[in-house]
Structure 1
Amino acid sequence: MVAGPDVSAQTSPPAATPLPDTLSAAVEEEETVFYTSDRITYDIGDSTLVLTGNAVLKYDNITLKAGEVRFNTLTEMLTADRLPDSVGVAPEANLEPTLEDSEGTLVGARMQYSLKTRRGRILDGRTQYEEGFFEGRQLRIENENSLHIHIGSYTTCDRPEHRHYWLKVGKAKILRDDKAILKNVTAYVYGVPVFYLPFYILPLKRGRHSGFTVPTYGSGVTEGTYIRNLGCYWAASDYWDLRLTGDVESARGFLLKPYLRYAKAGRTNGSVGGSYQSSFGLKPTGWDIAANHWQELRPDLKVRGQAQFASRLSFVHGTTRGNDPTRLQSSLRSSFSLDKNWDQKSLNLSVSESSPTGKPVRPTTSLSFRLPSRPLFAPPQRRRTGGMPDFGASRNTDKRLWYQSILLGYNGSLRDQKQSTGTRQDIVNQFNGSSQQTAGGWFHFGPQGSYSETWFRQTGKGFDRQNAYNVGVQANTTLYGLFRTRIGRLQDVRHVMTPSVSFSQAGPRNASRSASFGLSNILQARTEHEDKTQKFDLLFVNLSSAYNFKAKTRPWSDINASVRVPANKVNVDGNLTYDLYRPVVQTFRRPWLKTASLNTSINLTGERSASTETFAGAFSSAQNVGSTGFGGSGSYGSDRFDENFDRIKGPWSVSLSHRYSVGRVKPDTSFSTSSHVVSALNRFDLDSLTGLFGLSNPVTAKWRVEHAFNYDVRRKTIVSHSFNFHRSLHCWELYFRWTPTGFNKGIYFRINIIAIPEIKIEQQRSSN
């Protein structure tokens, strides 16, 4: 049906009233068209309702506004226009055609929209998604979630009179809450074309999204001039994604690197990746494949596996970028395991293979069973009679007999493995026992022990056995001292002292016997003010040492003392080491101070005002697509530089640290400084800093600065020193890093679009 306004409310009544029945038949029975305007007419011959001046028409979740709206009741076609000035409609009533729905707003010079098919066309139209603006000579609405643009543009700059940049597109397809596919893209910066792309995928949703990766370039001795990480990332769904990148190296050729991830929360996850290298003549020079998989078949049954294959191990080393060469893997490894758990018991079957040459070798197979420690004499459970608890049983479940605290556990395994001289099969049985006892309610002690038996058969040696044991006991107690001070707010000071001692012995192979001693001290305070009580720690002091019964010389180890003063913004830690022996002759004597160290740190953060903007640049939330996290905030590129300094919780923060340590080799010699380092990390925005002094700062507004400094006082050298500068330039951002000294001495400059960080200009020069 059609509902119009009361005739008395109209400046000019409709030409024909009441409205004909054909109008109500043109729409579904349960839906209604609401409309209002300064003048309403109805052409019976054309079956067209004409709304003129402040025209508003609502249908379902759609609202159409314009200077004039025409509605054909037979075809259900809407036409909206902005009338020429000659018509005589007041300027404030001659609205620009605007189509609104629950997903957004479309504006244009002329609109046509079908209520029946939900399709339409807009001339000289524009719309906004998130922070981006789309414009086009013609916009075509395919459905509620799809919009096509012919000859248009895209930008995140919200200054239409002076765009800082825009992307000119030949065609574009916008999928709401997903992405925009742009074709024939030309990027303009201040009206100057800077580059062209045949297509570009623009994400319109947060989290993982498809797009191009951020390439890097440079040169090296082995690879020559190169461009790396050139490709794209496809977030296909919430369950899997694909990254396809490649490197071009003048000395080696092409390197293709696909990487696929998949995951389903709590059930399965894994990845498959690899690389393929060829010369510029397309002759293959190497390849490798790596995969891993984890899956929960049932809540108590899980499988996991990994595999790695390569044409040769040296190829894997040559394509591992940025790793420490000393930590490169020495072989290709593959493994598979199955884990079964039930009633706190576990069974594990695993098969693994390690090949230094890449050729198949005999895998190592193992089967292990674990029975966790449990009471040897479990406390009695409350019985149930006829489905009801026995309320006559004792309710004191906390008080247990001493033997009910005895715990026993078992671990067993079978293993078949290949060695350099043959094969070896092992059967290992290990039993563990422990108990925690309390005497008199204040003295705690716990004996523990383990025994293992290994049966093995080895090529050329036949059958043999080995056994090993380890027994020990540890004891401790806690003593309290309370001092009533009643000084100001300070009411009480409590001293908590915990002495402890332990003894252990192992054998028969690698026999050992030792004892260790410790004394923990905590000084606490309680204050009262305005009926509020607070308790906090004042000081921690710990002492420890040990005695080795098997040592022929220096059985006593050094006495270590640590002191810590906890505070909210200031931390003080000290460590002292005392030697109990004379140098050279190694005879026992009274303790003498051998080393001492003091670490002090101060951390201050300014309070953020309501107007202070959040410090977060375009790269501050970047997530490497190679990580295992899914669904979080992130981008499809990975920044080469760590720029987390943007994440400042206040307008400024100051972090100062001081590390000082001394030592000596003889008790009668003076101390020498072994380490003395001063560090500082200061982060602030210049606007707040100059505001503290009441200065006007039009130049420094919106600048954020980080200063890091590390100075070795002993060597009188600057270990590291850097300045980081960041400034928001409306829809762009500028980042500049200057490292005047240290290993990374040099500069790095970048200016990029905040919404599209891939569009950037960057330059780096360093001593490396």
Structure 2
Amino acid sequence: MISAITSKTNAYDRKLHSLSFHTSALTDTIRKSGSKKDSIRMDTATQRVKINPKAGTALKSKVEYNAKDSILADISGKYLYLYKDAEVKFEGMTLKADFIRVDQQTMIVYAKGAIDSSGTYSGRPFMTGEGSDLIADSLAYNFKSKKAKVWSGVSKEGEGFIRGGQMKLNENKEGFLKGGTYTTCNDPDHVHFGIKITKAKVMENRVVTGPAYMYIEDIPTPLVVPFGFFPKTSKRANGIIFPSVGEDQQKGFFLRDMGYYLGLSDNIDAALKASIFTNGSYDLGLSSRYVVRYKYSGNLNFNYSNSRYGEEGTSTFQNTKDFQVMWSHGQSRQGTGSSFSASVNLTSSKFYQNTGNFVPLPNRFNNTSNSSISYSKTWQGKMPINLSSSLSASQQFNTGAINLTLPTLTLNGIQFTPFDSPRRIGPPTWYSKVRLTYGMALSNTVNTYDSLLFSSSAPPEHQFKTLVNHTASLQTSFNVLKYINISPNMPYTENWYFRTITKEYNAGNDQVETTYHNGFKAERSYALSVGASTTLYGMAQFKKGGIKAIRHTLRPNVSYSYKPDFSDPKYGYVKTYTDKNNNEVPYSVFESGSSSYGRSSVIGFGLSNNLEMKVRSAKDTVNGEKKISILNELSLNSSYNFAAKEFNLAPFSLAGFTNLFKTINLNFGASLDPYAVNDEGQRINKFSINEGGPLVNLTNANISLSANFNSKAKNRPQYTTQQQRDLYLVDPNPNNFIDFNIPWNVGINYAFNYSRSYSNGNRFNNFFQTINVNGDFNLTQKWKISGMTGYDVSSQTISPTTLSIARDLHCWDLQVYWVPFGQYKQYSIDLRVKSSILQDLKLSKRRPYYYDDAY
């Protein structure tokens, strides 16, 4: 006879006495310590059973039972049955299943799923809290010994899963598996690949197996191993990085990127890699990633290459050494007033060519490299002061030229209002707006070549030059006739140099020789300027039709500036030397001083325009109108120098931009020269219109159109800043991630440039036109195709073209990269497991660009 407790209150009341009677025999093991009452307490609202073991018995902790549908107990009191969403908790362990049976004498719990009305086996046992999470077809667990037996289980072990077979768990949380599968595929219905294991021992931080073989899509492969080892940890662990094997046409057979990974801590890791080639070449690399949550993150990479080409002892033999240093750092220090960032890419000019690494085509065409490290600090207050410092470098790979600034230091924001009072009442007067500002900048620069960098034998012109720049200004602003703003300014500049030069013509070798002198010398300059500007509005309103109003905004400006001639010998900033033709040639003693030669008295003028339109719109339920920008900006600027001996009027500069249909960006510009040109193509000091020509001559012009069209993203995940940093630790290269959430995306760019030139008395009109297209689209939900190409209309040639194909194979990735033609014709095919723990499980086929077609 079995007494039942159902979810209905009347049924529970009817069976309560019977259940209490039959369970009274168990009070020795499950009675609450110090209590003489029945130790089983029923709660009709939650149907929860709590068993408190008696002091001195085997169980020292409380066991909690819970079921959604019903709880059954047999007449002998030995077994307790829990149905539908049953749950058992004991000492941090939680077991859930659709059916649980508890042996209250042996304290062994048995759990399994149930077959629902559709015939599906569901509600499988799920156990957590005993090491890794575990789900199985059925399992048995002993509360006393803490041992378990599992049939057809699935447990998550690090990034992988162990599925199927039979497993026994001992009290040390170790598992002994027979006939299971190790895989990183998380598809619950079908495992796309796995490693069949005859037997294995699952420990806290590793899985050791006996003989095993690999299968893909239920097809066994000949890849068999006598034993296996899989790391199992939530923390970073050290391990060997297996190399890739192949052949390089120039360097021979190779083992590439073999090394060792170091999981130094939860915040930093490092990887040491090396590549060796049969001709004696080798590459060394160090990469490290670090992150401190909510503070900063970054990565550091260093690579060194020793490349050998040809046979040693022959004229064709070459031995080159190249390096690359890359560092990226970002931080978030909100509220501190300070920030630090770094983007460093220092590379020897032949690094990519000599290492033979597979480099995407857009990167290979980049002949320049720029690096920067910057720090800034702002002190808030009545007078905010900003201090910033930076290190920067730029390289030209084709020439080997390097420009370094190590470092710059800038201090600005210091200003005073000497004629204003803190107790002033009412609006400020023009003199209370008078401000005195000061700023300072230090720079240490050198322009040299990578072969001379930091060399003790480098000539003085290839050594660092230090400059300290001080700037101060006295300025104010006020309105005239209410709408015209006047802004006078008196700037002062003082530069400190620590090296000067003298130049002298040497008739013996027909060279101009430069002598360098170390020592302090200051260069001072000042000027006077005043500017006037205002804003004019024109409005046209329409009572009928779709157009409601058109507004035209004009911003005219005019300015005047005066600067003395600091090339006068009394200042000592400019000297002269006599060339071989007895001509006096001026030069700056500071190599490149800031003072311009000659006196200047310049009036500048300009006009900018903006055109907007309001249209009636039924979509806007609040205002019933919509604003449309017709012309975002159209400006015309020039200047006239009264002190110049010729060409007083500067060319007119025309520039503008606007948006068409919210999608197309249009930019245009032109340079218009008012002076005439003679038959030899030389500019003469006469206006073109006075020589029978046009008012102005078009010397160059440019137009660019860019548009981007894409579909709306489907369920695109929104990552927080911290999540983006965590993803960065997984892979710092964003190009390795394929976004399948955007069905299609197309970008089109058109550029047109015109310039005028003269040669041998003939005028040439030069036109350059290019069209570039890039885009991607989802062929299906799992196929992504992307590429870029272009066409040079002027030379009638196709621009470098690439095609990429990505296929999401659930737990595998297939990526194809192809350059179908041109100098860098190449392809690569990579099929790899997504999980990083099996990142060496991949198949690659590559043809680098430097291979012969016959290879």
TM-score greater than 0.5 by the shorter chain = yes
Partner of 2:790: 710
Partner of 2:586: none
Q: Whole-Å Cα distance in 2 between the matches of residues 607 and 304 of structure 1? A: 33
Per-residue CA distance 1:132-161 (angstroms, 9 max, x = gap):
643154546689999786663233556778
Partner of 1:749: 829
Partner of 2:313: none
Give unpaired runs (5+ residues) of structure 2.
7-11, 32-51, 54-58, 308-319, 393-404, 447-455, 501-514, 567-572, 574-594, 689-694, 851-855
Partner of 1:681: 774
Q: Whole-Å Cα distance in 1 between the matches of residues 233 and 467 of structure 2? A: 57
AA paired with 2:845?
Q
**Aligned to 1:494, what secondary structure does the other structure show?**
strand
Q: Whole-Å Cα distance in 2 between the matches of residues 149 and 399 of structure 1? A: 85
Per-residue CA distance 1:259-281 (angstroms, 9 max, x = gap):
444443576778777578999xx
CA shift, 1:120, in A, is 3.8
Q: 1:242 to 1:375 in 2, by over 3 A?
A: same
Q: Give 1:496-575 correspondences, 5 Å limit.
A: 496-504=553-561, 505=563, 508=566, 509=573, 510-512=595-597, 513=600, 516-530=604-618, 531-539=623-631, 540-547=633-640, 554-567=647-660, 568-575=662-669
Confirm or deny: 8 A CA contact 1:202 1:210 kept in the other structure.
Answer: no
Q: Give 1:375-524 correspondences, 5 Å limit.
A: 375-377=416-418, 379-381=420-422, 394=425, 396=426, 399=428, 401-411=430-440, 428=468, 430-440=470-480, 441-446=482-487, 447-452=489-494, 454=496, 456=498, 464-471=520-527, 472-504=529-561, 505=563, 508=566, 509=573, 510-512=595-597, 513=600, 516-524=604-612
2:125 equivalent to 1:98 = yes
Partner of 2:310: none
Q: 1:110 to 1:342 in 2, by over 3 A?
A: closer
Q: Whole-Å Cα distance in 2 between the matches of residues 305 and 593 of structure 1? A: 43
Confirm or deny: 8 A CA contact 2:157 2:233 kept in the other structure.
Answer: no
Partner of 1:696: none
2:52 equivalent to 1:59 = no
Q: Whole-Å Cα distance in 2 between the matches of residues 186 and 248 of structure 1? A: 30
Q: Whole-Å Cα distance in 2 between the matches of residues 546 and 570 of structure 1? A: 33
Q: Whole-Å Cα distance in 2 between the matches of residues 478 and 732 of structure 1? A: 62
Q: 1:224 to 1:542 in 2, by over 3 A?
A: farther
AA paired with 2:624?
K
Q: More deviation in 398-407 or 52-61?
A: 52-61
Partner of 1:763: 845
Q: Whole-Å Cα distance in 2 between the matches of residues 338 and 130 of structure 1? A: 42
**Aligned to 2:795, what secondary structure does the other structure show?**
coil
Confirm or deny: 8 A CA contact 2:430 2:476 kept in the other structure.
Answer: no
AA paired with 1:710?
G
Confirm or deny: 8 A CA contact 2:499 2:517 kept in the other structure.
Answer: yes
CA RMSD of aligned residues (A): 6.0
Per-residue CA distance 1:146-196 (angstroms, 9 max, x = gap):
978666323355677864311345647587xxx976767754323214476
Q: Whole-Å Cα distance in 2 between the matches of residues 367 and 150 of structure 1? A: 66
Q: Whole-Å Cα distance in 2 between the matches of residues 483 and 762 of structure 1? A: 67
Q: More deviation in 474-483 or 457-466?
A: 457-466
Confirm or deny: 8 A CA contact 1:136 1:149 kept in the other structure.
Answer: no
AA paired with 2:485?
H
AA paired with 2:182?
Y
Q: Whole-Å Cα distance in 1 between the matches of residues 118 and 250 of structure 2? A: 71
Q: Give 1:88-487 correspondences, 5 Å limit.
A: 98-101=125-128, 106-108=134-136, 111-115=139-143, 120-127=148-155, 133-135=161-163, 137-139=165-167, 152-155=180-183, 157=185, 163-168=191-196, 171=200, 187-189=214-216, 190-194=219-223, 198-201=228-231, 223-231=251-259, 233=261, 237-252=265-280, 255-264=283-292, 344-345=384-385, 370=411, 372-377=413-418, 379-381=420-422, 394=425, 396=426, 399=428, 401-411=430-440, 428=468, 430-440=470-480, 441-446=482-487, 447-452=489-494, 454=496, 456=498, 464-471=520-527, 472-487=529-544
Per-residue CA distance 1:102-153 (angstroms, 9 max, x = gap):
8996344653334468664424422468996431545466899997866632
AA paired with 1:466?
A
AA paired with 2:73?
I
Q: 1:519 to 1:643 in 2, by over 3 A?
A: farther
Q: Whole-Å Cα distance in 1 between the matches of residues 176 and 206 of structure 2? A: 10
**Aligned to 2:800, what secondary structure does the other structure show?**
strand
Q: Whole-Å Cα distance in 2 between the matches of residues 92 and 585 of structure 1? A: 93
CA shift, 1:300, in A, is 8.3
Per-residue CA distance 1:672-725 (angstroms, 9 max, x = gap):
4521222223433345xxxxxxxxxxxxx7543335330112222211334333
Q: Whole-Å Cα distance in 2 between the matches of residues 350 and 650 of structure 1? A: 38
Partner of 1:605: 710
Q: Whole-Å Cα distance in 2 between the matches of residues 195 and 550 of structure 1? A: 88
Confirm or deny: 8 A CA contact 1:114 1:120 kept in the other structure.
Answer: yes
2:689 equivalent to 1:657 = no
State, as a whole percentage, how many aligned pairs show the same letter: 19
Q: More deviation in 467-476 or 486-495?
A: 467-476
Q: More deviation in 581-590 or 60-69?
A: 60-69
**Aligned to 1:377, what secondary structure does the other structure show?**
coil
Partner of 2:79: 49
AA paired with 1:16?
H
Count of paired positions? 694
Per-residue CA distance 1:731-758 (angstroms, 9 max, x = gap):
4443334433334333333333445683
AA paired with 1:78?
V
**Aligned to 2:794, what secondary structure does the other structure show?**
coil
Q: Give 1:689-708 correspondences, 5 Å limit.
A: 702-708=782-788
Confirm or deny: 8 A CA contact 2:783 2:806 kept in the other structure.
Answer: yes
Q: Whole-Å Cα distance in 2 between the matches of residues 239 and 232 of structure 1? A: 18
Q: More deviation in 742-751 or 409-418?
A: 409-418
Per-residue CA distance 1:590-647 (angstroms, 9 max, x = gap):
3122333332234322345xxx57699xxxx9x9xxxx998431464577x9466x43
AA paired with 1:98?
P
Partner of 2:727: 633
**Aligned to 1:720, what secondary structure does the other structure show?**
coil
Q: More deviation in 519-528 or 720-729?
A: 720-729
Match of 2:803 among 692, 711, 723: 723
TM-score (normalizing by structure 2): 0.64
Match of 1:78 among 109, 129, 139: 109
Match of 2:101 among 60, 69, 76: 69
Q: Whole-Å Cα distance in 2 between the matches of residues 307 and 527 of structure 1? A: 50
Q: Whole-Å Cα distance in 2 between the matches of residues 551 and 91 of structure 1? A: 95
Match of 2:26 among 20, 23, 31: 20
Q: Whole-Å Cα distance in 2 between the matches of residues 469 and 630 of structure 1? A: 50
AA paired with 2:24?
P
Q: 1:123 to 1:490 in 2, by over 3 A?
A: same
Partner of 1:591: 696
CA shift, 1:437, in A, is 0.7
Per-residue CA distance 1:408-446 (angstroms, 9 max, x = gap):
214387999999679999895724114241323422343
AA paired with 2:436?
L
CA shift, 1:538, in A, is 0.9
CA shift, 1:247, in A, is 2.0
**Aligned to 2:801, what secondary structure does the other structure show?**
strand
Q: More deviation in 430-439 or 411-420?
A: 411-420
**Aligned to 2:799, what secondary structure does the other structure show?**
strand
Confirm or deny: 8 A CA contact 2:813 2:834 kept in the other structure.
Answer: yes
**Aligned to 1:582, what secondary structure does the other structure show?**
strand
Partner of 1:690: none
Per-residue CA distance 1:290-313 (angstroms, 9 max, x = gap):
8999999x968999999999xx99
TM-score (normalizing by structure 1): 0.70
Q: 1:438 to 1:186 in 2, by over 3 A?
A: farther
AA paired with 1:709?
T
Per-residue CA distance 1:432-489 (angstroms, 9 max, x = gap):
1142413234223431412215375899957553222243444322221112234523
Q: Whole-Å Cα distance in 1 between the matches of residues 777 and 755 of structure 2? A: 38
